[in-house]
Amino acid sequence: MLRKTFEAELQELKDEVLWLGSMVERAILDAVEALRGRDLEASREILKLDRQINAKRFEIENRVVTLIATQQPMAYDLRLLASIFEIASELERMGDYAKGIARVNLRMGDQPLLKPLLDIPQMARKAVQMLRSALTAFAHDDVQAAHAIPQEDDELDALYNQVYRELMTYVVQDPRTIAQANWLLWVAHNLERAGDRVTNLCERILYIATGEMTELDASGDEWTRPA
Amino acid sequence: MKRSLWRCYGRKATSAVMLALTGMGTLLLVAPLLWILVYVVRQGAPALSFGFLTQLPTPVGVPGGGIANALVGSAITVGVGLAAALPVALLAGYYVAARPNTPLGIAVRFATDVISGVPSIIMGIFAYTLIVLPQRHFSALAGGMALSFIMLPIMLRTTEEMVKLVPASLREASLSLGAPEWRTAISVTLPAAANGVLTGVMLAVARGAGEAAPMLFTAFGNPTMSTALDQPIATLPHTIFVYAISPYEDWRAKAWATALVLILLVLVLNVTARLVAAWRARRLGSVTRV
Amino acid sequence: MAVRRLNVYYRGFHALSDVNLEVPANSITAIIGPSGCGKSTLLRTINRMIDLVPGARVEGEILLDGENVLAPGIDAVDLRRRVGMVFQRPNPFPKSIFDNVAYGPRLYGVRGPALAEIVERSLRAAALWDEVKDNLKKSALALSGGQQQRLCIARALAVEPEVILLDEPASALDPIATLKIEELMRELKDRYTLIIVTHNMQQAARVSDYTAMMMVTGEGSRAGTIIEFDRTETIFTNPKNRLTEDYVTGRYG
């Protein structure tokens, strides 16, 4: 096998991407957990974590550019590097969603929650589980998984609709809840968008493995209107 | 550390010793040459004058006289030899270089080796049986032919080597433009090899101009001025031979002077050839450097 | 131009095995592959320079304008006028710049003003005219390597070939001269069909429209063949053959 060094560098880069992914996982779970527990200190930690995520993303992009410039990657290697560029930016945006959730928590200040959060943590777990599956598929160029994971997005959409309906009933009963309902809807929306981003990741994984560029879910990029 | 330092000294010492040895070898080679040159100049210079080059020989005891007839005769015989041998040498030399492994190529190379090993006096006898006997008299033509046999292998061999030195890519470039092989040989390969071939020609001329033995049976010598190809003719080496073995002091002095003229002529020819080659190389860029 | 079921043998040694290739007209086709896979042999078969190799035997068809140039009736010398070649190292004749370009046309009897016109046109086409127009009598060997190679291209253009074969034309040149040659190739493809053999994959990727991947196939065999042919972007981003993938990513060997 030629190019052992290059090979090792590619593997290292993939590991970095997985590391970035796990940072995002933690950011999403912790952000929702902080909201559920109304823990403002924890939310401030999330903002710090987001800065680390951004730095990691730039570091990865930098390494990709260096490898392209110095190693003249072709075929699989080229698809991998070009896709990592995209994947890193997708992950960073997912990190921004976690940051958005943390901000919501901070803005809500000391007001108590309307009700104990159930569906929103459920959404977070689902989104993170999809992300984890996608990262595993990325690690193994798993074409089958890349096709299957976007299907799970429906579940996330269903949870979102449920959260929406529930918040609407609160608003209808007591218009004073409008502000917080809006905040919480924003949180749910962020989690729903995170799921769409996972679909984008799967498209990249598919491209890396097969060289085909296909849209896995045409509706995924659009604003999913509650039915 | 210390040991490697010693080894370094050892290497340098070996290098110095080897350099000294090669230098001594060079000196051993050049010294006799210089000695001969100096000796010939000292012996020949007193009898040398402008008149020596322009006058005809005089009988023993008559002062003056020169080697004009031998100068002209040498030029004619060498010219005849060159005219006869050069075209053959170029064509055969090219053939041998281009087709080294064909039966004819192998045969030509073998024949060349044999011919170049034959003593020049045998070449004289060969020309004698071939030309002098049927014609029943000695002639400049016979002398020239004898020289051509001697010059042929030298020129053939240099042509072969020089053609081989021409990069195959030049030949391919010509062929790839749709040139037939004969055209490629004439327009590209041989001109590219010309400088080297010229050196070979000069070597052959020097060799031919210095041959005395074959002239005994062919050109024979002639005390008068002759330019006819079918008549006996004087040549420089033959003149040296005749004068040198004579018992007369003034003839022997003339032998030295003639020898000096011969050496100078060969020297001038060689220098001229080098200059021409260098000029050609400067003008067109040399493919084969010699 | 098309190559059909081409087999080449050197004294019993099988050099090319069942090579099939369709070369689209007015395009640049790159032939890539590891050393010894027969790239140069394929090139030299197309203009029948291989005829000069003793003991070489060729089977199959090479179609140029629908005519099999390997057929016994076709004269290799005539064919080479239609298929020009540029070599690995610049190989100008040790003659003047003018005489180099004029060499080909002179073979076909062109003289006088017509000849001067062809020389100028060819030098212009090879993007060399402006650099040498005042020095046409100067020796070609005084030019730089890159200029020499463009002179060799001009020399090939002067006989108006249909196809130009380039055998690693930039391997002996510096990067700037290389890029000039590549730019020139792209300009020439409007009028000619170009086939380039190169060891430099980046060069193949930069310059060519189509790429043919050659490789020695089969156990114990030394015969090369084309294992993949496709548009260049496909070969370099998403090759179908595992061996091509290994080669273009640098993992072959």
CA B134 to chain centre: 29
**Cβ–Cβ under 8 Å, residues C3 and C21:** yes
Q: What is the mean pLDDT of residues A163-167?
A: 95
Is the pLDDT at A220 greater than 80? The verdict is no
d(CA A68, CA C73): 52
Indicate yes or no: CB of A2 within 8 angstroms of CB of C248. no
Q: CA end-to-end span of chain A, whole Å?
A: 55
- The DSSP H or E segment spanning B16 is helix B2-44
Indicate yes or no: CB of A74 within 8 angstroms of CB of C236. yes
Q: What does the pLDDT profile of chain C (253 residues) look like in tens digits?
A: 999 999 999 987 899 999 999 999 999 999 999 988 999 999 999 999 998 888 899 999 999 998 999 998 889 999 999 999 999 999 999 899 999 999 999 999 999 999 999 999 999 999 999 999 999 999 999 999 999 999 999 999 999 999 999 999 998 889 998 999 999 999 999 999 999 999 988 899 999 999 999 999 876 778 899 999 999 999 999 999 999 999 998 887 6
Q: Which residues of C touch A212 (CB under 8 A)?
A: 238
- The DSSP H or E segment spanning B140 is helix B140-165
d(CA B103, CA B90): 19
Residue B244's Cβ-count burial label (10 Å; 0-12, 13-18, 19+) is middle
Per residue in B134-162, pLDDT tens? 988 899 999 999 999 999 999 999 999 99
Is the pLDDT at A41 greater than 90? The verdict is yes
Q: Which residues of A touch C32 (CB under 8 A)?
A: none
Looking at residue B269, its pLDDT comes to 87
Q: Would you mind telling me the total number of residues written for chain C in this entry?
A: 253
Looking at residue B284, its pLDDT comes to 64
Is the pLDDT at A145 greater than 60? The verdict is yes
**Cβ–Cβ under 8 Å, residues B254 and B45:** no
Per residue in B65-96, pLDDT tens? 889 999 999 999 999 999 999 999 999 999 99
d(CA B110, CA B37): 36
Per residue in B161-219, pLDDT tens? 999 999 888 999 999 999 999 999 999 999 888 888 988 899 899 999 999 899 988 98
Place of tokens 């000292």: B42
CA B86 to chain centre: 12
Q: Which residues of A touch C244 (CB under 8 A)?
A: 75
Indicate yes or no: CB of C236 within 8 angstroms of CB of A76. no
Is the pLDDT at A226 greater than 70? The verdict is no
Is the pLDDT at A223 greater than 80? The verdict is no
Query: How far does the CA of residue A21 sit from the closest CA of chain C (Å)?
Result: 26
Q: Where are the alpha helices (DSSP H) in chain C?
A: 39-46, 76-82, 97-107, 112-125, 129-132, 145-157, 175-188, 201-207, 232-237, 242-248
Q: Which of residues 89-148 of C touch A (CB under 8 A)?
A: none
Looking at residue A1, its pLDDT comes to 52
Candidate from A1, A72, A79 with C-beta closest to C237: A79
**Of all residues in chain B, what percent are helix, strand and coil, respectively (each to 5)?**
80, 0, 20
CA C5 to chain centre: 20
SS3 A111: coil
**Cβ–Cβ under 8 Å, residues B37 and B263:** yes
Q: Which chains touch C (3 or more CB pairs under 8 A)?
A: A, B
ipTM of this model? 0.90
Is the pLDDT at A221 greater than 80? The verdict is no
**Cβ–Cβ under 8 Å, residues C129 and C139:** no
Is the pLDDT at B290 greater than 50? The verdict is no
Tokens for B287? 């493919």
Is the pLDDT at A184 greater than 60? The verdict is yes
pTM of the model: 0.77
Contact present, A and B (at least 3 Cβ pairs less than 8 Å): no
In percent, the amount of chain A with pLDDT more than 70 equals: 94
**Cβ–Cβ under 8 Å, residues C142 and C198:** no
Is the pLDDT at B275 greater than 90? The verdict is no
Cα–Cα–Cα angle for A184, A189, A190, nearest 5°? 100
Indicate yes or no: CB of C238 within 8 angstroms of CB of A73. no
Please indicate if any CB of chain A lies within 8 Å of the CB of C205: yes
Q: Which of A9-18, B277-286, C71-80 has the highest mean pLDDT?
A: A9-18
Looking at residue B285, its pLDDT comes to 58
Indicate yes or no: CB of C250 within 8 angstroms of CB of A75. no
Please indicate if any CB of chain C lies within 8 Å of the CB of A78: yes
More confident residue, A89 or B195: A89
**Cβ–Cβ under 8 Å, residues B202 and B45:** no
Place of tokens 């002239």: B215
Contact residues for B124 (Cβ-Cβ < 8 A; gap 6+): B146, B213, B214, B215, B216, B217, B218
Q: Which of residues 264-283 of B touch C (CB under 8 A)?
A: 283
Could you give the C-alpha distances from A137 to A75, A88, A143, in angstroms and in order? 19, 15, 7
Q: Which chains touch B (3 or more CB pairs under 8 A)?
A: C
Buried b (16+ CB within 10 A) or exposed e, C156-167: bbbbbbebbbbb
- Number of Cβ within 10 Å of residue A73's Cβ equals 22
Residue C111's Cβ-count burial label (10 Å; 0-12, 13-18, 19+) is exposed
B-C Cβ pairs (cutoff 8 Å, strict): 75
Pairing status of strand C210-216 against strand C28-32: parallel
**Number of Cα atoms under 13 Å in the Cβ half of residue A218:** 0
Nearest to A80 by CA among A71, B106, C69, B129: A71
Tokens for C30? 């790159």
Q: Which residues of C touch A78 (CB under 8 A)?
A: 236-237
Is the pLDDT at A213 greater than 50? The verdict is yes
d(CA B25, CA B31): 10
Please indicate if any CB of chain A lies within 8 Å of the CB of C238: yes
Q: Which chains touch A (3 or more CB pairs under 8 A)?
A: C
Is the pLDDT at A227 greater than 50? The verdict is no
Q: Which of residues 183-222 of B touch C (CB under 8 A)?
A: 183, 187-188, 191-192
A-C Cβ pairs (cutoff 8 Å, strict): 39
**Cβ–Cβ under 8 Å, residues C26 and C189:** yes
Per residue in C137-156, pLDDT tens? 999 999 999 999 999 999 99
Contact residues for A52 (Cβ-Cβ < 8 A; gap 6+): A23
DSSP B153-216: HHHHHHHHHHHHHS-HHHHHHHHHTT--HHHHIIIIIHHHHHHHHHHHHHHHHHHHHT--GGGG
